Amino acid sequence: IHLCECMFLLQCLEDLDSSLRKLNSRLFVIRGQPANIFPRLFKEWKVSRLTFECDSEPFGKERDAAIKKLASEAGVEVIVKTSHTLHDLDRITELNGGQPPLTFKRFQTLVSSMEPPEPPLEPLTRELLGDCVTPVSENHRERYGVPLLDELGFDTECLDPAVWPGGESEALKRLERHFGPDSNTAWQENFERPKMSSSPLLASPLGLSPYLRFGCLSCRLFYYKLTELYNKVKKNASPSISLYDKLLWREFFYTAASNNPRFDRMEGNPICIRIPWDRNPEALAKWAEAKTGFPWIDAIMTQLRQEGWIHHLARHAVACFLTRGDLWISWEEGMKVFEELLLDADWSVNAGSWLCHSCSSFFQQFFHCYCPVGFGRRIDPNGDFIRRYLPVLRDFPTKFIYDPWNAPDDVQRAAKCVIGVDYPKPMVNHAEASRLNIERMRQIYQQLSRYRGLSLLATVPSNHMEVVGVNEAQAAPPTRRRTQSSTSSQRECLKSYVVIK
């Protein structure tokens, strides 16, 4: 588990404990594997009832089935509630004939036919709990307290404040800011016409995805807040299902993965196209460690490692670069890096996103390839994002900030950064690599189309080689400078249960 994720999780637990204290209760953090610990706790605490949240993911189902069996053997009543998703995912699968829907359009159709999600419950209060008090021992901190970072082996010296503070309290503050005091302004800025500039590439005080992932924020609360905002702004109009697309994409991947334990890999995954990716550990390491020689890609990967989050367009860019765009490395390798570093990397959503980005499933427009120079330049023309995360390039003129290898030698010296000495040369020629990889994908899809009798190539434009990216020529290093180069136990610890003595 990475430092950013661990810090976020511990802050979530501290915040939960603080909230429970206000209700005359406390959080009990138990160390160890649930299957080994629960039999003892059932006896020691005289537990009569165990409640927990439904986990739709395959490894969670297996773990929870074992806990249910232990509880049954101990005479403990088990109550499981669906709260991490808007809907009962098994019901969605049932409506689709027993198979999860594999297109988002079909998923939307099914969800539209269902009842709206249940409204979120009101917050707990002391009045509601009455005289209910949790007995706490004097050594509670030592036995059941939230562990500290250094206890878990992390170096906490010179630790910067978290960019994403964990906890429900922070999540609710962000939610209020997201929907704002002015309904019309909130709607225009966050939903109707969100602005795209360099600033959204930075972590936003309105960002919510890590809080949804860790259960700090109820997806149903967000759903009904969004509905309420829409009704205020649009008055009598009924919201379209597309209003909730950001939540529904999350739900879509959860549903697709719910009964597929191999959703996160290519082999044995019935919905994944088997693509003969290259195995290139050296190139993979350069990508993961922000040493590709493409400032746009390296700045994104630096932000990810430092802060645990990157914008969704940045995710598209680095995923495409690693897989079908430039390096032709398996999406599984990129997914593992994101799983380690990304705060909002739910297992289902992370794997589903990589399946999409690599055109291995769900998404077939392989001819759309992100240029590692032009795409970033369109979003952030001044290169402020690059200068922030790659200070070695800070003094480069804006003209060359995205392709510094094209800068004359005197410009490089003036910027105190010589390419190939102070910052890497580009590891690939993007123009050549992307053209080759598009042709590879075309052949794979053509074979698949013949085998399955599908018309997968019907949407491929005749000029597909021209759709590679903007300013592609700038992404090709000049000849004189060009170089070419060929977790389950942690998840166990993230599960929370509520026991009633």
Binding-site residues, in ranges, read 199-209, 344-346
Binding residues for FAD: 199-209, 344-346
What six digits make up the tokens of 336? 């593992």
- Return the HEC string of 58-87: HHHHHHHHHHHHHHHHCCCEEEEECCCCCC
Which amino acid, one-letter code, is at 205?
Answer: P
Residue 352's Cβ-count burial label (10 Å; 0-12, 13-18, 19+) is buried
Which of 158, 111, 202 has its CA nearest to residue 384? 202
E-assigned strands of 101-173?
none
What six digits make up the tokens of 193? 């016409």
d(CA 300, CA 311): 9
Cα 160 to chain centroid, rounded: 22
Residue in the structure block whose two tokens are 């603080």 = 18
What six digits make up the tokens of 489? 């136990």
Alpha-carbon dihedral angle through residues 140, 144, 150, 153, given to the nearest 10 degrees: 150
The conformation of residue 486, written as its DSSP 8-state character, comes to -
Residue 481's Cβ-count burial label (10 Å; 0-12, 13-18, 19+) is middle
| Residue 366: strand, helix, or coil | coil
Q: What are phi and psi of 78, to 5 degrees?
A: -115, 130
First and final C-alpha spacing in the chain: 32
Contacts of 62 (CB under 8 A, 6+ apart): none
Sheet holding 497-500, edge to edge: 77-81, 49-53, 497-500
Contacts of 392 (CB under 8 A, 6+ apart): 417, 422, 423
User: Are the C-beta atoms of 468 and 371 separated by less than 8 Å?
Assistant: yes
Which of 258, 278, 23, 222 has its CA nearest to residue 125? 23
What six digits make up the tokens of 159? 């630790």
